[in-house]
Chain A
Amino acid sequence: MINKIINSPAEAVAEIHDGATVMIGGFGEAGSPIELIHALIDQGAKNLTVISNNTGSGHVGLAALIENKQVAKTICSFPRTANSKVFPELYNAGLIELELVPQGTLAERIRAGGAGIPAFYTPASVNTPLSIGKESRVFNDKEYVLEYGLKADFALVKAETADRYGNLLYHATARNFGPIMCTASEMAIVQSKRIVEPGQIDPETVITPGIFVQKVVEVANPLHESQLVEQNMSYP
């Protein structure tokens, strides 16, 4: 029998090891798997490479993981936001490495990683500082730069509905990087607001087919990052 359901966020993230590469879903707080991130803070794995669009805000969620000195490197498109204090401080102090990637290149690198494509050419970043040192090639009189697919040991993703096979539905713009990160990681760990019986998700509407997901944990009432930031909360 296939049953990917795990009892707690703590159990779900137990295997994340020091030095692991971890993709973390979310665009700002939309889709940020805050309970899984907090479980990873409790678990304590260090020297992580985190692949995510942003670097969190305030002192909770992704920002707290970084503040807890568990992240050695981020691969990211937009590491500063209105309330991000942690990353800028560590970055300016030289305590965290940043690989800055255009957002669409980040998405395509993840997609390619999950699809078995080792590298691809893109027009984004040509003639800018972000293409320096990268191989380039001209196709049909237009220049493109070579970018490499990204894979990860783990992905932490937030979904709305899941079943024990790992089929997923998302909510609104919380979908963002979730589906592609599930495909590009050895172990996709998903927190879902609800878990339903197989068959209750219409196969025509499945967004992430279960084959891309390894663990599912129910978090019925996830915390809201912006609310925690407003309340000046910090984790742990």
Chain B
Amino acid sequence: MKFALGIDIGGTFTDLVLSGASQHALKVLTTPDDPSRAVVEGVRSLLLNAQIAATSVDRVVHATTLFTNALIERKGAVTGLITTAGFRDVLEIGRERRFELYDLNIRMPEPLVPRDLRLEVAERTTAGGAVETPVDESALHRAARTLLDAGVESIALVFLNSYANPENERRAAAELRRAFPGIALTASHEIVPEVREFERSSTAAANAYVKPLAANYLDGIRDKLRALGIEAQLSLMLSSGGFTHIAEAKAAPVHLLESGPAAGALAAAHLGKGHSRLLAFDMGGTTAKLCIVDDGIPLVAQGFEAGRTRRFMEGSGLPIRVPSVDLIEIGAGGGSIAHTDSIGLLKVGPQSSGSVPGPACYGLGGIEPTVTDANLALGVLNPDYFAGGTIAIHKAKAEQAIEALGRKIGLSMLDTAWGIVNVVNENMASAARVHIAERGRDQRAYTLLVTGGGGPVHGYQVAKKLGLKKMICPPSAGVASAFGLITAPARVDRVATIGLRLDQADLARLEERFRALEAGALASLAESGVKRADATIERAADGRFVGQGFYLSVKLPAGPYADRAELRAAFEQGYREKFTNTPPQVTIEFVNIRVTVSAAAQSASAAGSAGAPAPATHQAPGNRKVYFKESGDLVDTAVYRREHLPAGFCANGPLLVEEDGSTLVVAPGGHVTLEANGNLIVEVA
């Protein structure tokens, strides 16, 4: 029997999953000095405990936050840039725009390459793609030599207009690889052949910045897994939710930056299987994440920002133009601190108490009330069984902290506690509304899927604020992301900037361009062991009506295209889905064309779900007083243990369902049903 192995390295924990005829999971502490150590030790004990031979593992899928952390903490390689004469400051000048309007002391993110490591060479390609000046090769050699002598470990090569014709950039890259064997080099057209020099430079620089680290790490973990006897090919989770093989991951590690969150989103998609419109809502200790999942596939954006200087502020990070699961991060979690602002209103977060000192109830010196303290005071959380009984909790300390805040705003302890929860719920709901509106979706069509320690606690009220009728609470799968990994399809994305006006389109040439992208993507997928016959090819275009300042990515039918009207109709349909109306009589321009080649997860072992309910020993629910706004007071509330719920269980709120990682809250008026697959389905009143 064959098994798939999922490995998800996060900042604190490394999650391991073996899935085949049986399922096995293990959570171990991440070893930051050498993350592969925890993996190797964990996999060894997982195999041993499950009595599974290493040779029966036929697939290994891996996600890691290692590279994104290196970027955030600025612990990547010393990176240099070689660019077209006249353009060394592109990385530093950026978009010339502030991410915050009123801060006179604003600090824009520092470029990954400082000015003295950005060198220029004479060469030029026009926007039309004509090579006007060939690369000055001796200048190129000198530049590379200067950088290497200055201690540079990785070089990004970005020439102006290389999106239109990469010839000069390609030649220069070949020459550098020839003259400096083993050099870590990133040529921008190989990563992101898209118009806009700042975004392309930023992406290429980020790739160069993590490239040596990625090579070291990926080779290391492959060798160590082999040493364990696992011969299966290692696949890496991409930010887009697809995966790739090790050679491509080493060449373009920038595609792996968001692999952790992507695995989380895929896990949510998997847990909510059967629901066509899902809002995946994960709330942890410091942040909440939200992602739209349509028809089982998390929404993918064509770019994101890495290493924001202000964590939750759009524009404060480095633009990375690669496909990435489209999720927002909100500064709201169990540890978020409640306080009053300059006009005396109650604010919650984004500051967080972290794990030390933690919420006031930990008794570790935290005196400011947090969201967790408020939930404890309201009776929602169980002081005797906090985090499965692993942490000792002092409810009185939580109440004291909340009372002190309540005195400032003239509210009772309970009203203040409810206020804290209500404010943090509104913060999440408001962020969700704007996120959903930005993507042209109607929130009311969605079902909320709650995960993380806080998702089940806050989901009901957030759903209510958003006007959602239904919520899914899957069994607390502490290693859900690792399951997401082994259910992911193989996927390769390719893009090219073509700047084609439909009224002047040469359809044969367009078909050629699409075919070339598809051939590249298929070849790459073949290296992951996917057969051509199993691959699905999807085409898309980033288009706009001429004059518009943005692009919209729309799906296109397979080619070749009979006439321009076919393309126009496809674009207009995608446009209407998002914006309702199309303007009349305006020409369409395809700025970029995109190809996605994918294949369903290969191993039969991927079919497993995170866990169906074990046959329950029926137990009467417990009972405690819980505050609900709907009741206006503390009311007697049934408290169930999730593992004891009988098949076919259903009940009316108010009620709580406790499990080790979280507590599901259902307010008065709500209704809950246990489905055969282990999901709790909540009807929201």
Same complex: no
Interface residues of B (CB under 8 A from A): none
